[in-house]
Amino acid sequence: MQKFIIDGGTPLQGEVSVQTAKNAALPIIAACILTDEPVVIERCPHLKDIDAMLDIMRHLGCTAEFDGDDLKVCCRDVALNVINSDLTGKLRSSIFILGSILSRCRRAYISHPGGCEIGLRPIDLHISGLKSLAVKIADDCGVIYCDGTEMRGGVVNLDFASVGATENLMMAGALIDGDTTIVNAAREPEIVDLAQFINAMGGRVSGAGGSVIKVRGVAKLHGCRYRPMPDRICAGTYMTAVAAAGGKITVCGVVPEHVLGVTERLKQIGVKLTVHGDSVTASMQGRPRPLHKLETNVYPAFPTDMQPQFTAALAVASGSSVVVENLFENRFGYTVELAKMGAAITVKDRVAVVRGVPKLSGAVVRAHDLRGGAALVVASLAAEGRSVVYGVEHIDRGYEYLERELTALGAKIKRVDCVAGER
């Protein structure tokens, strides 16, 4: 177990490059099962969530090894092993495996997925969608048994534009007879990235990025080399850290349109932004301005994965803000830890009232989930004095070498091993 020790109060300065998107790489890794030929995923991030997905892939008989920053995957020999809770309990995205295994093998057996404790996140949309493709599904003692021997294309109307369900259904339709149409599909950039990856293997996916996606099944997919998109949440986290701590940084390797939901809000709280190609320069002096309302929703609205970090910045705003979380009912758990630093946040159900304070003070806090952990880092960078952030393993699920990148921006942060019996 490890912790971050952060001495706050230092404005950030310099350049940082954005890692490859975790939320793009995970479904792409799962989609490698669709071909029996080798696949190379370029610049795949070294993250705990990636490791958890690779453990599942190896359990299924695939090989997966890093060659520097490139991940080489080969799923020539796929075994229909039950993916038990020891594997799925670490990773919500393990549910992606269902669509790809069913598409290729017509059967799949998987325990219910785990992940961050930020809400119920039911998988009913995945299950009902697969049933629309003639998959027979039974749930016995927490194991989902799927029989896709009669799978065929069909029309799936999603009640909610779920990213995971959309991706799962895209993979499920890739190798089956007929056309699969996904109505009310999610529109996130990661959806487009997965479609481009499947098409790079010889698939036929169209409409990604819109509300209707069509997948025409093909007989076989081939291997390829592919570089996934940059991580828009990491980019937003760095820019939001500047809003909280002050300074001027340039975030390189960004797709500016992917982060519009964040950058528009950053402008509203006083961050000056300049876009040059694939780089965004963010600068901030003084305290952030408050927001009348910050409301999360599906893309292209403000992303739920940026809500904790932004709330941490609003904690030192020059007035009161209201934050509304529309996607996950338990996402405000991190505010208890922010309160230890002097933040004045009142939460009721899915609404938080954030009364900005002149300063936060360093404290001992603990991350309980990925983005909540990032929020504690953002707050610690802005706080006066020293903070100790436990639960770094949660942060490592989505941020690659976060302390190294922040140190390059002038932050005083170091990773330290916990001693025996500590927290």
Catalytic residues: 116
Report angle CA 325, 370, 337 to the nearest 5 degrees.
Answer: 75
Distance CA 398, CA 190 (A): 15
Burial class, 293, CB count within 10 angstroms (exposed 0-12 / middle 13-18 / buried 19+): exposed
Q: Which helix (H) or strand (E) holds 310?
A: helix 307-314
Distance (Å, rounded) from C-alpha 359 to C-alpha 315? 8
Distance of CA 72 to the CA centre of its chain: 22
CA 183/CA 103 separation, integer angstroms = 19
Classify 366 as helix, strand or coil.
strand
Q: Among 245, 248, 275, which Cα is nearest to 260's?
A: 275
Dig out the tokens for 42 from the structure: 């370029």
- What letter would DSSP give residue 318? S
The token pair that represents 405 in the structure block: 């990148």
CA distances to 245, 287, 352, 355, 413 from 316, in Å = 9, 6, 15, 8, 20
